[in-house]
Structure 1
């Protein structure tokens, strides 16, 4: 895997850990602003549970991306990275279409750049 692709995968992993922190540990005001949600909605216990659940998924994804860079070698490393970057791209597109357009820039675009850096 080339250096640029490795850097992009590191950025992707750290980004998802940061998203986890927003979803799980931020104040409702920060969450509402970050995810373009009404504050009244975000303050609801059910919304907090959903955000924290989503945060776990993003955190685990970030950790898996980072661990895959050190635990998998050779052609398998590229294949695993392509799969993970593709997953991020698909989830980012879905989130951009259904939640907030910011997700296209924050999640889908880095996933696309990482995937292209691996393929090309």
Structure 2
């Protein structure tokens, strides 16, 4: 069970590092526009770029927190569960506040699976 939790948690962390990459380093790329459903003109806006880069740092730190919990703590279950619950809540908020229900599926599904596995292990 711990191996499955570790593998799925690493996938969640990689997802958040990818989001960080899009928001912080590839702010004006067509992929970023497609992922966030934004036009090229929107992505050129300096205020949006600043907001994206700030949000990207938060997403990257979520990934760092997952790796830290997995590889640098002795009993990672509690800290990892807290991070997964945070991700689930943020995904729910993002889905409802944006009106895009697929955000929860894309951003929260793996976290839900990890949280369930942590609770039953």
What TM-score does the superposition give when structure 2 sets the normalisation length?
0.89
Mapped partners of 2:71, 2:27: distance in 1: 33
Structure 2 alignment gaps of length 5 or more: none
Mapped partners of 2:60, 2:33: distance in 1: 19
Task: Give the superposition deviation at 1:27.
Answer: 4.8
Q: Relative contact order (C-alpha < 8 Å, sep 6+): which is higher?
A: 1
Alignment of 1:1-120 (within 5 A): 2-28=2-28, 29-74=30-75, 77-99=76-98, 100-120=100-120
Structure 1 alignment gaps of length 5 or more: none
Mapped partners of 2:57, 2:95: distance in 1: 20
Bigger mean CA offset, 103-112 vs 48-57: 103-112
The 3-state SS of whatever aligns with 1:36 is coil
Mapped partners of 2:53, 2:62: distance in 1: 14
RMSD: 1.5
